[in-house]
Amino acid sequence: MSNRSVLYELNVDLSSGDWGVSCPLDQTLIGPVAYGWDRYQKDPESMTFGGGLLAGSPLAGTRRMIFCGYSPQWEGFYVSALGGAMYVLHRFGVNYVWLRGRCQTDSVLLLRLKNSEYSVRLEPIDVDRLWQGYTDTDDRTWDAFYALQRAVFEKYKGGYDNDWFRILTVGPGAQLTKEGAIGSNQATPATRNASTSTRASSLIII
């Protein structure tokens, strides 16, 4: 995404799969916390994540992805950060993502931008089975968070170019406790040999 002074949001209804990209009417919500608080007030059961206009820049801290929403542990609005994740999301062409509703079953949310065309879709996934263990194509066995991340990586990596995507996922603690966290790490060594104009920039979320 080239640098610009206008904010864009992706709004996803998880219960129906409907989605849309729009320019928020209130352009004063330049920061992810202000944006998250505004959307939380509109729908306390929703969640937002993203970064401001400086996301992806060399400035320290601007590549952190900021999550906002209700925390069952704090019993109210809470803010959390994931280092480095905005480096990929800012290429997706939106600053913020607003997730509303709930999927009928555990699902993967696949976000993709290629040749200026957005693609957003939900696909069911059996997280309970994968958390118990997953053996990858290199015959290495993973469990819990890492098993789910690796399984998603191997299933969907063919739809994206090189390392131009990021997987965010959770472990069983997110289902069984109030201390669950959203995690992400590098799943494979980076390779950069594709043309920027044809790369697919995206985020894969569990």
The domains of the chain, with CATH numbers, are 1-102 (3.60.9.10), 104-206 (no CATH)
Beta-strand relationship, 107-114 and 65-71? unpaired
**CA pair distance 38, 136, nearest whole angstrom:** 42
List the structure tokens of 11. Answer: 């709004």
% of the chain at pLDDT higher than 90: 58
Average the pLDDT over 183-196 and give the result.
50
Do 37 and 77 touch, CB atoms closer than 8 A?
Answer: yes
**CA pair distance 71, 74, nearest whole angstrom:** 5
Q: Quick: pLDDT tens for 157-169.
A: 888 877 678 899 9
Q: Quick: pLDDT tens for 64-81.
A: 999 999 999 999 999 999
Q: Quick: pLDDT tens for 127-151.
A: 999 999 999 999 999 999 999 999 9
